[in-house]
Structure 1
């Protein structure tokens, strides 16, 4: 029989913060734009998603997760895809808006 005592335990503690997330009670399509969404509709959906994030008790953990994993899609921790990309871009490549 294999000795499983040396195997790593469950990693639930890495994900427990998600149980407290405000977005758990909201349709997930709010956080991920549909194909072809542009302009005012895109901005309005992003702002609505960020409003949910603004009242979220685990926004910091969510943001950290999205940045560490380089999450390519959606609003996470109050940051859009574009905002995360700017934060992760090397300093020499950042443009001042």
Structure 2
């Protein structure tokens, strides 16, 4: 029989916050831009996503994840990719 006593254990605590996210049932279209989206359409979509994030009970966890993982796309924790890059370079 294998000795599993030295294995690190479950990692559920790293992602379980996602189960409580306000965006969980909305699909990704609001949070990630389609190819070629620019200008007012992109701004409107990002603002709509940020409104969802504003009332999200796990907003802090989401943003922390996105910053640590250096997520290159989408709105995470209420910040766009551009806004997250600015936070990381500040």
- When the two structures are superposed, what TM-score results if normalisation uses the length of structure 1? 0.89
Structure-1 residue corresponding to 2:36? 36
Aligned to 2:74: 74
TM alignment of 1:1-97, pairs within 5 A: 1-89=1-89, 91=90
Q: Structure 2, unaligned stretches of length 5 or more?
A: none
Of the two, which has the highest radius of gyration? Answer: 1
- Structure number with the higher helix fraction is 1
Classify the secondary structure of the residue corresponding to 1:76. Answer: coil
RMSD of Structure 2 on Structure 1 (CA): 0.8
Cα deviation, residue 10, structure 1: 1.1
CA distance in 1, matches of 2:24, 2:2: 38
Q: Separation in 1 of the partners of 2:10 and 2:27?
A: 28
Helix, strand or coil for the counterpart of 1:82?
A: helix
TM-score, with structure 2 as normaliser: 0.96
Work out the CA distance in 2 between the residues paired with 1:10 and 1:73.
Answer: 28
* Structure 1: tracts of 5 or more residues without a match: 92-97
**Matched residue count:** 90
- 4+ residue stretches of structure 1 with deviation over 4 A? none
